Amino acid sequence: MKEKLIKYFIKYLSLNIIKKVFVTYLLCWTGFLFSFSLGKFLLYLSTILKNNYILKPAKVAQTIGTAKFTTVSHTISKTVGVKNMYLDYSFSYIISNFTSCLIIIFALAALGYLYKKDLEKVRSIKEKEEIIKNYTKYLFILFVFTVINPLTGLIGINLKYLDLIVVLPHGLFEFLGFAISIVVGLELANKICPIVKKNISYKKIMALILCSFIFIFIAGMLEPIDWAIYYYSQIYNIPLLHAIITVYKHLLLSLVYII
């Protein structure tokens, strides 16, 4: 089973950039739903067994996520001096999420660099094959972890499944930004320490990083709006889907009018 997954992973690495981003994008959504469902399951178990310790992973994720966002938001308010609450929240989301994208890129690339150094010390073909095998395995594990993204999924365990509609508007762009960053990290790792024969230029890598930032930026501008809609619908008992459609319809009409 493990060997089969590794073979699929190598085939995935052989895909062109567009196909790889598309597959990764779908996997990011799947990973989010998986970690969210895992959080809901832990919540259910803690209720049945009356044991709050089971919810420890979700609470840790919520603490880390909240602390990260609060730190970024506080820094922006102090250094940039943003007085507009909407821009304050938007820039905080953008910086927080794009920082995560850069961490993903550097983590994957660093693994390639470390194994390249190990390969420079090998003295036999057998030893080289073993190092490549381990490198591929750990790159796959790191890839799975970034795709599942447990932090994002576990943070929202108090939401209902139907409430996940609120994630769609900004999530469409956010997960695309994350997917591109994962692909960039894998391309860099493969460029530094090749698993499959591919030749991607650093110019293209920089263009992909810029694309990742653009999608994260759009998501960051939408995210405060989405959560404002969510809390408004909860307070005034308005159907969430209706509220989202109404708000975005008026936003689009306003943009068309401005243009």
Question: Residue 82 pLDDT > 60, yes or no?
Answer: no
* Spatial CA neighbour of 68 closest among 160, 152, 170: 152
Q: CA-CA distance, 176 to 137, in Å (whole number)?
A: 25
* Neighbouring residues of 25: CB distance < 8 A, sequence distance ≥ 6: 175, 176, 179
Q: What is the DSSP letter of 43?
A: H
- Which pLDDT score is estimated for 28? 93
Percent of the chain with pLDDT over 70: 79
Mean model confidence pLDDT for the chain? 83
Q: pLDDT-based confidence at 192, cuts 50/70/90? A: very high
pTM of the model: 0.87
- What are the pLDDT digits (tens) for 220-230? 999 888 988 98
The tokens 């920082």 sit on which residue? Answer: 99
What is the model's pLDDT at position 69? 41
In whole angstroms, give the CA distance from residue 152 to residue 145: 12
Q: Mean of the pLDDT values across residues 54-70? A: 49
Whether residue 54 is predicted with pLDDT greater than 60 in this model: the reply is no
The reported pLDDT for the residue numbered 4 is: 87
Confidence of residue 83 (pLDDT cuts 50, 70, 90): low
Rounded Cα gap, residues 138 and 99, in angstroms: 23
Counting Cα atoms < 13 Å in the Cβ hemisphere of 47 gives 7
**In the chain, domain spans:** 2-219
Average pLDDT, integer, range 208-235:
92
The pLDDT value recorded for residue 80 is 47
Helix, strand, or coil (residue 254): helix
Give the pLDDT mean for 151-174.
80
Reported confidence tier of residue 52, pLDDT bands at 50, 70, 90:
low
Q: How many CB atoms lie within 10 A of CB 157?
A: 22
CA-derived radius of gyration, the chain:
21
Map tokens 């530094």 to a residue: 192
Residue 189 confidence (pLDDT): 95
- 29 pLDDT exceeds 70? yes
pLDDT digits (tens, 9 = 90+) for 99-150: 989 999 999 999 999 999 988 888 888 888 898 999 999 999 999 999 987 6
Q: Is the pLDDT of residue 153 over 90?
A: no
- pLDDT > 50? residue 76: no
Give the pLDDT of residue 258: 77
Residue keyed to tokens 């005034």:
236
- 3-class SS of residue 195: coil
The average pLDDT across 166-173 equals 92
d(CA 149, CA 117): 28
User: Is the dihedral angle over the CA atoms 139, 141, 144, 149 positive or is it negative?
Assistant: negative
Q: Which span out of 43-57, 157-171, 204-218, 230-244 was modeled with the highest average pLDDT?
A: 204-218
Q: How far apart are CA 256 and CA 252, in angstroms?
A: 6
Helix axes 17-49 and 125-148, enclosed angle (nearest 10): 60
pLDDT at 86: 79
What pLDDT is stored for residue 74 in this prediction? 45
